Structure 1
């Protein structure tokens, strides 16, 4: 019988804790043995709740993406224009710095051809919808809205990845450089909107 209190959701929660403790590499190094040890069960007991390590990783990614979406939505509600972009960028950066393992899990792209990825795909779509809402106020057509979302995500992800990995070796103020980056993203979105054909 499954251990009392151990459910699929509980196993996921334990795995998320393990990922968090592993820092930036926590998601990549996640193992069933680590989760079983934390849960106080033998590895075979986990198979009553998850099908495989891949299944568990998918659950962690799905939960992490959902949490990032909630964070972004809370940060950007009621905001528009450049203020909304700054709030979204700050929320992503803060999420990554507070929970680097979970942040890494949010970078898993769902396989739309795999039904097992349906929930991850749905949660990812919700994240993109929040970011699209942040950028929609600039009047971008749908095809360029995708470009703007990708630009925002790529810029913040690149900065955060370098920051967490110790890739900025110079003593200059990181927050100032980050602010310059976000201003550049805003200028890029505004330029994209200015050159877009009128709807």
Structure 2
């Protein structure tokens, strides 16, 4: 039990830890109350309901992912930056499966407009702008990159690659290669960035 001075931040952090330990679906107000050794009613002065907890968890995860993307893409461009961006997502999904699952849920309006979400988008667009994409194409390119990364990670987490002996690491690198080529050939683009210089 972790009876302590309750606050919204403490409750959200506990939710994140619970999600990683027991799974996203395990996050309920009752489960969090047990974690703090208090009655559920004690939490409602800090979080309105389970939906508010999940919103906070989503925003916390976005903020942590943004910090990791910034770390993995700093001073890099082209393929290297793209690999850093993708690698940050993969690392976060592996290290924090419950928080990652929270980010796969539909985001509510307040989450979409949060500072954490804005920072993630800013960092992704910084990587994509190096490919000289028109501003009105950034959303479409972001969707392609996100779908590729999230699709790969979803298949990897479900064990879909387990029945083949071929290296999943090589498949991951090939996926980044394919994204890099797609971004270089993007309509209206035309970046002359140097190709891959290192592996993720």
CA contact 1:68–1:92 (8 Å) conserved in 2: yes
Residue correspondences, number: 187
- The equivalent of 2:188 in structure 1 is 196
Aligned counterparts of 2:169 and 2:154: Cα–Cα separation in 1: 14
- TM-superposed CA distance for 1:81, in Å, is 1.1
**What is the DSSP-based 3-state SS (H/G/I as helix, E as strand, rest coil) of the residue aligned with 1:161?**
helix
- TM-superposed CA distance for 1:109, in Å, is 4.0
Match of 2:100 among 95, 98, 103: 103
Aligned counterparts of 2:189 and 2:171: Cα–Cα separation in 1: 32
Aligned counterparts of 1:179 and 1:39: Cα–Cα separation in 2: 43
- Does residue 24 of structure 2 align to residue 27 of structure 1? yes
Aligned counterparts of 1:118 and 1:176: Cα–Cα separation in 2: 34
TM-score normalised by L of structure 2: 0.87
CA contact 1:18–1:30 (8 Å) conserved in 2: yes
TM-score normalised by L of structure 1: 0.88
Match of 2:53 among 53, 56, 59: 56
**What is the DSSP-based 3-state SS (H/G/I as helix, E as strand, rest coil) of the residue aligned with 1:28?**
helix
Aligned counterparts of 2:67 and 2:117: Cα–Cα separation in 1: 12
Aligned counterparts of 1:41 and 1:99: Cα–Cα separation in 2: 26
Aligned counterparts of 1:78 and 1:171: Cα–Cα separation in 2: 35
